[in-house]
């Protein structure tokens, strides 16, 4: 094994150990998904005069806008 190959191998090991240490220390926060079931979302205009609804007809599946107040 040449000197250059040994330096590259030791460098890779050092980088991997550094990454594992930083991950274990917790410098980067962990993100968790919400586990409370389904999150309901309403798609409305900014002035809240119309919200989208789902067309449940056999050929539906499209969002339709209905005028109503919240």
Q: Comparing C-alpha atoms, which of 17, 18, 69, 14 is closest to residue 47?
A: 69
User: What is the spatial distance between Cα 53 and Cα 66, in angstroms, rounded to a whole number?
Assistant: 7
Total-model pTM: 0.38
How much is the pLDDT for 64?
57
CB 6 within 8 A of CB 14: no
pLDDT score recorded for residue 49: 79
- Under the banding of pLDDT at 50, 70 and 90, the label for residue 16 is very high
Collapsed DSSP state (helix, strand, coil) of residue 66: strand
Tokens of 3: 């000197």
- Across the range 16-27, mean pLDDT stands at 81
Q: Calculate mean pLDDT across residues 39-56.
A: 77
Q: Tell me which H or E stretch contains 17.
A: helix 3-25
Is residue 48 predicted with pLDDT exceeding 90? Answer: no
């Amino acid at each position: 094994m040449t000197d250059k190959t040994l330096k590259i191998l030791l460098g890779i090991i050092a980088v991997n150990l550094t990454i594992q240490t930083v991950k274990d220390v917790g410098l980067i926060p962990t993100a968790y998904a919400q586990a409370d079931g389904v999150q309901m979302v309403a798609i409305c205009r900014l002035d809240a005069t119309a919200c989208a609804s789902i067309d449940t007809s056999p050929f539906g599946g499209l969002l339709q806008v209905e005028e109503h107040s919240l």
